[in-house]
Chains A and B, each alone.
Chain A
Amino acid sequence: MSADSVPFLQPGIAWGLVVLFSVLWVALGIAWGRRGQGNADDYMLAGRNIGLALSTATLMASWVTGNTTLLAPEFGYRTGLWGMFSYALAGLGLILFAPLALRIKQLMPNGRTSGDFIRLRYGRLAWWVFMVITAVYTLGFLMTQAMGAGLLLQALSGFDYHVGMVVVIGVAAVYTLFGGMRAVIGTDFIQSLLIMVLLAVVAVLAFRQFPIPEVHARLVAEHPDHLDLLLPAGLLIAWNSALFSMGEVFHNNIWWSRVFASRRSVVMTSFVLGGLAWMSVPLVTGSIGLVALARDLQLEQVNMVFPVMAADLIGAGGAALVFVVVFASLTSTLDSLLASTADLLAEDVYFRLLRPQASDAQLKQAARQMVVGLAVVTLALSWPRLDSLASVLFFTGALVASTVWPVACGLYWPSANRSAAIVAMVAGSAVGLTAYVFIATYCAAVFSAVVSAVVMVVGSRWQPERFDFNLLQEEG
């Protein structure tokens, strides 16, 4: 299936679904945005008191990207069981962050961003290094989601690439702009339920058409390596996936903003439940890739294995279900990225760096302007169609994995040294990128995390700092 060939879903039906869900997200987002007190904290962090259901759902929905629904089946199709498992191990990032989330909530009751923590814990120079890493990662993430939106809507329903991209970014930006974090978290709850229910329906219908024993028998006969639990490449990809996801979660403000937005009593549980719930998604979508392989389905574009299988097994209804799942996945990730990155820029750059005397209303206004600015920048950067952007995102694994130990050590270990943190991030990134170029793309995060850990521990042991954790309780 090429992007220019016959779409799975008729454009009229696709437009109907887009209009229906766009109106729903925008209306709910605006309505929820009106509930709060109207101050900056409410706009940026939804009032800092969200419960377990919304907290778990927003973590899960934000972590289900367009890749989870389309790349995980491709992993299953290409690598078999280890492809599914390695993708699912990305859920470890959320689960392992759970105790840190509680610690953050205890140490920084007034904190707003991950940048706040790095600046207060390690100083301004470390903050600059951290901000460069987070900027590269976030822009790469925003662009992959934006371009994914254009390419997927085109492949699924025949939309023009630019129209699909503008629609998805536009809808996410409108309700984030007017409703802030409340809109993001509220819509995430519905989007996560929608994604999980529809995926379960697709999987059950698919395996009714093609039973599990038959799939297993075909794989044993024709692709036994896809069922091999000791596949060496699979084991390495799994480690890399787990460490990459740890880097993504530990450093990025998407997840820190959820910590600050959640009620203290639920924050740890929500990260554990969100991670566990998320892990079932790539396992289910990945298993659809195995069915495609067992059926010997010929694919022109292997990343379209999920919609091809859904349409093949269930017909037009299957294509419509996949379309809704993909649309919900993309909007739920883009709204989180827009809101949390806007918060990071408004708090760390506008308020803490440029205008410390800014009022609460000016801070809120700055956050809103950042949402619009980020949406425009993302559209501009993603306008030319690049097909190799996935590799750009993978290369950020080398950068983000270098932040895992500076963040973790900085939260628990008073001796963690600021110079060691800076060198750990720089050296980890450099070695990880070298491994990415000269060894293999899927080992970048492993090298980066190992080097960063060694530098952090040795440097802090050599010249221990005596950090007073009370310094993290900065007023907003």
Chain B
Amino acid sequence: MLTSLLFTVLVGQHWFALVLVGSQMALVCSVIALLLIWWVEWRSGRVW
């Protein structure tokens, strides 16, 4: 019991929220970045 407790590191609420919110933000940022890159390339005729 003591050994298992020694080798246990629980994620606190702050870091837990950071992971979850961070991953959602990363998803949204990916969409924005993709659209932005596409728009820049489209304007210079370099999409294909």
Contact = CB atoms under 8 A, between A and B. Distances in A.
Q: Is the interface of A mostly helix, strand, loop or mixed?
A: helix
Interface size grouping (class) on chain B? 20 to 34
Given A51-B41, A51-B47, A51-B48, A200 B9 contact: no
A204 B37 contact: no
Interface residues of A, number: 45
Contacts of A189: 34, 38
Contacts of A49: 48
A284 interface: yes
Contacts of B46: 51, 263
A193 B32 CA distance: 9
A24 interface: no
Interface in B1-30: 7-11, 13, 16-17, 19-21, 23-24, 26-28, 30
A454 B24 CA distance: 40
A213 B12 CA distance: 10
A199 B27 contact: yes
B15 to A, nearest CB: 9
Contact of A200 (B8, B16, B27): B27
Contacts of A212: 13, 16-17, 20-21
Given A81-B11, A213-B17, A52 B30 contact: no
Contact of B34 (A47, A193, A229, A280): A193
Given A193-B31, A213-B17, A273-B33, A53 B41 contact: yes
A56 interface: yes
B17 A277 contact: no
- Pick the most buried of B20, B21, B28, B47: most chain A CB atoms within 10 A of its CB: B20
A220 interface: yes
13 contacts: A47-B48, A49-B48, A51-B37, A60-B30, A196-B31, A200-B24, A227-B11, A227-B16, A277-B26, A281-B27, A283-B19, A287-B20, A287-B23
Interface of A: 35, 46-47, 49-54, 56-57, 60, 81, 182, 189, 192-193, 196-197, 199-200, 203-204, 207, 212-213, 215-217, 220, 224, 227-230, 263, 273, 276-277, 279-281, 283-284, 287
